[in-house]
Structure 1
Amino acid sequence: MKENKYDNEQFFAAYSQFPRSVEGQSAAGEWHELKKMLPDFKGKRVLDIGCGFGWHCLYAAERGAAKVVGTDISEKMLKVAKEKTKYPNVEYRQLAMEDLDFPTDSFDVVLSSLAFHYTPDFSEVCGRISKCLRSGGDFVFSVEHPVFTALGTQEWVYDQAGVASHWPVDHYFTEGRREAVFLGETVVKYHKTLTTYLNTLLQTGFAITEIVEPRPAPELLETVLGMKDELRRPMMLLVAAKKQEGR
């Protein structure tokens, strides 16, 4: 259940050439919206779950975070993150999100970018986050949108001329395992409804403060191939929440 496709040599090589892997947040279509949802990092203890190449860890450190811990299941991803990181208060740990076990009140901010659709048990992960996040602390994350993950194939339907005619949504209410082809490899993800994402937060002690279905940054529409099609359906879901006092 803890798939680690990112340590596959062929997949990792392809992923390393992906625009957001090379250029970081500037090539991420959702970043212009996500960064507005992030709290003030100055003096904060920050946890980044599924940190990948460490872009968000560096962003927090650059903005005065007192301590940043990035976790990821991929040894290869963490190797690159460590090579890029010069801040002594940033550390990385190879750890699956389902195995998070930090002491109570360890962090003031928890972040996660495009990781939670890889876990079959979002509730378990949220419970572990709630434990290590202080009361009143911030929890901000992005996931692939349920409209994007519902069918599983994650591919447009094309007409006879080879033009993308529409995005298929089917089996929306049937949650669970999906298989998609990404960068030439079969990748396992876990579809969850919007209701599940939001209610799980409420049930594990969080108050939702903002929800965004981001459109791509305008400057990327002309420079990134296929980005204009991202205006036709939501690809991502961004959520900001706070741990309720006394939870």
Structure 2
Amino acid sequence: MDTNDKNEMSPAERRHRAAARKRRQEEMKRRKCRRALLFVVMILVVAVIAGGIIVAVSKFTGGGSGVKISAQGSTYVIAIDPGHGGRDTGMSSAAIEEKEADLNICAKLKIMLESQGYQVVMTREDDSYLSKEERVAAVNASGADLLVSVHCNYSEDDSSQSGVHVNYANDDKESKSLAENIDAALVKETGAKDQGSNSCDFSIVNDTDMPAVLVEAGYLSNESEGSELADDVYENSVAKGIAKGVLATLNR
């Protein structure tokens, strides 16, 4: 028999070898796909872990989102404006007048911010009356880096309305960031309904020279919330929420 005949494969053998070669190629493809998938999974795991670390650090340091506010001098000067006062009582609930609730919250807020090493100036520290123009002039003269004005809300049409709301100066990114951070912290500290934040036309935030917000701490027209705003513990929670929002915004 010719030796070449010995080396020739039958059609069945050729088909068998071709099928085996195809199986090997398909197995190699599957291995490559598994390796690629494993690589992608590893990247995602690393990204999730890194993201968790970033979030944890952010929470530990006070977090906050948006634009930061820098101090003009060696330390921050924060202006606090308790709404109303004197003959201007503001609105009221069965338990408290707005001017009193505003001052109570701001007095607590002052202590909290000063305990963190910040300089605080108040437009009023007693039951005195100040016009809008006098408030704006006093804040601008203080050289403050930011302003927080505190009021209470009221709805004449719907006594079920409740929640915290923060107004900020028109077209000002720093004020908007401050408002958003205070709003988030207030909701967390008080458990109140989130009424959000938006720009406004109030002179105390638009005619002053620094990032400014006006906080509506709750609805005096709501029986439950009106009572809470007269409670020392709840007022402390409001002040704490505002303080945390301020700290989250400062470029420390």
Tell me which structure has the larger Cα radius of gyration.
2
Q: Which has the higher strand share?
A: 1
Question: TM-score over 0.5 for the alignment?
Answer: no
User: TM (normalized to structure 1)?
Assistant: 0.30
User: TM (normalized to structure 2)?
Assistant: 0.30
Q: Which has the higher helix share?
A: 2
